[in-house]
């Protein structure tokens, strides 16, 4: 067996063993097949291993190849057909999908295409209960680390890619991560493989192409072992980042409650650097991207803000707020209109993503037409059932510890002009009403 196949076999076996220990054995391997040289080499090696009954103690999982046609090149359909032919020649199951990309401002077309490609690959891999196999090699790793260094990344970013990682619970295996580009080229020429050539890979306006065509060759001319050294540093950074994440997770557990809110007093017991790490780990529960240094500084300033203040830091679709000695991370929700009729199918409350409907004894359509939801009435006086006095709605909201940013948007349910219930986050509070008002049971679904 040649060195390339031996390397891929070793990495693949180790990854499959790790996956079996951490989760459960995968039923299939899905090769991300672009049709380019690297992915064709990966496909050929796996096809050879699948046909060699002596290399695996047990049968190799079912093998698939998946191609994403971005439609960005005039040759895109020809590339897809080439991938189909490669798989047919090797008796490998081939799947493809065509996608269209609507260019978004402030996001490169390259990044959008990559993200959408991964989304489709992961979706298919989940369907076949598999692991995704990519053809990333040593020089891809070098490019990744250099780009992260340019962006000012910390140890986690400088760790680059790993031989085995997970995304949306899907294992991603990179068996060629320690294989050089030269070794990939030699294998492709020796095996007389055919692959597609994307002219855009020569366009140095793209950062990776600039590194690949101009920077890395010059660096390796001066320091021939640089790529291996960078890969080694990435591995050290990964180990350090993993240890830091484990310790931070423990510290986070001590300052976070069951609703994923941070207790400020407990967080302030840690030094400034640990506060940053704990905040980063906390925010990972809500969105995958790490916050910038300036955003972290704004959140840290919230920790010592006046108790009666209402500081706010917005991050994408989320908002960080302070209330009752805790930090909250809440979605940037849509609000109900000030008045809304109740329908037979109920009403979705966007504040919490909860559906309000009636109980098993559904009122008649005539009664339902007389029900409406109203927000923005802090000065109305109401009396909950089993309470002794009427009070202003805003005073009840304080007593019920409703966060300030929600109070103007808490709906009151009216039967004609009579308030009959209040919709809170975890319950529906019935109000005292005259005897002639029909009793209607409301529930959340």
* Residue numbers belonging to the annotated binding site for ATP: 34-39
Residue 325, sorted as left (phi over 0), alpha (psi -120 to 50) or beta, turns out to be: left
Q: How far apart are CA 114 and CA 147, in angstroms?
A: 16
The DSSP bridge pattern shows strands 347-349 and 312-315 to be: unpaired
Q: How far apart are CA 307 and CA 309, in angstroms?
A: 6
Q: Where do the DSSP E strands lie in 103-222?
A: 130-133, 164-167, 170-173
Instruction: Look up residue 212 and give its DSSP letter.
Output: I
For the chain, the residue count is 445
Q: How far apart are CA 100 and CA 107, in angstroms?
A: 15
Closest Cα partner for 141 from 58, 19, 238? 238
The DSSP bridge pattern shows strands 312-315 and 28-32 to be: unpaired
The DSSP bridge pattern shows strands 130-133 and 170-173 to be: parallel
* Known binding-site positions: 34-39
Tally of CB atoms within 10 A around 57: 6
Please, what's the b/e burial string for 201-228 (b: 16 or more CB within 10 A of its CB; e: otherwise)? eeeeebeebebbeeebeebeeeeeeebe
The pair phi, psi for residue 348, each rounded to 5°, is -85, 125
């Amino acid at each position: 067996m040649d060195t390339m196949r031996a390397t891929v076999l070793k990495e693949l076996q180790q990854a499959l063993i790790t996956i079996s220990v951490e989760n459960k054995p995968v039923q299939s391997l899905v090769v991300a097949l672009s049709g380019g040289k690297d992915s064709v080499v990966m496909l050929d090696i796996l096809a050879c291993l699948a046909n060699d009954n002596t290399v695996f103690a047990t049968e190799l999982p079912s093998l698939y190849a998946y191609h994403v046609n971005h439609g960005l090149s005039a040759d895109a359909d020809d590339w897809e057909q080439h991938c189909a032919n490669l798989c047919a020649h090797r008796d490998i199951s081939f799947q493809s999908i065509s996608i269209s990309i609507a260019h978004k401002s402030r996001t490169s077309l390259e990044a959008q295409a990559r993200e959408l490609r991964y989304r489709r690959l992961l979706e298919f891999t989940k369907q076949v209960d598999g692991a995704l196999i990519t053809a990333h090699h040593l020089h891809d790793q070098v490019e990744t680390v250099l780009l992260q260094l340019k962006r000012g990344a910390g140890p986690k970013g400088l760790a680059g890619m790993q031989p085995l990682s997970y995304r949306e619970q899907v294992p991603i295996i990179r068996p060629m991560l320690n294989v050089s580009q030269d070794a990939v080229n030699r294998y492709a020429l020796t095996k007389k493989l055919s692959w597609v050539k994307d002219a855009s890979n020569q366009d140095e306006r793209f950062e990776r192409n600039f590194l690949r065509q101009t920077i890395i060759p010059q660096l390796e001319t001066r320091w021939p072992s640089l790529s291996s050294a960078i890969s080694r540093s990435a591995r050290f950074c990964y180990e350090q980042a993993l240890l830091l994440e484990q310790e931070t997770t423990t510290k986070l557990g001590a300052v976070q409650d069951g609703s994923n809110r941070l207790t400020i007093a407990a967080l302030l017991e840690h030094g400034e650097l640990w506060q940053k790490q704990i905040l980063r780990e906390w925010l990972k529960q809500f969105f995958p991207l790490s916050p910038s240094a300036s955003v972290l500084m704004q959140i840290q300033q919230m920790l010592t803000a006046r108790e009666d203040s209402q500081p706010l830091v917005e991050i994408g679709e989320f908002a960080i707020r302070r209330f009752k000695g805790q930090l909250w991370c809440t979605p940037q929700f849509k609000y109900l209109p000030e008045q809304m009729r109740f329908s037979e199918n109920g009403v979705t409350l966007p504040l919490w993503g909860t559906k309000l409907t009636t109980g098993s004894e559904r009122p008649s359509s005539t009664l339902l037409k007389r029900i409406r939801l109203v927000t923005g009435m802090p000065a109305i006086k109401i009396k909950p059932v089993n309470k002794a006095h009427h009070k202003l709605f805003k005073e009840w909201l304080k007593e019920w510890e409703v966060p300030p940013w929600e109070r103007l948007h808490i709906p009151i349910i009216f039967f004609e002009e009579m308030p009959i219930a209040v919709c809170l986050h975890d319950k529906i509070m019935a109000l005292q009403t005259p005897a002639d008002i029909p009793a209607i049971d409301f529930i959340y679904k």
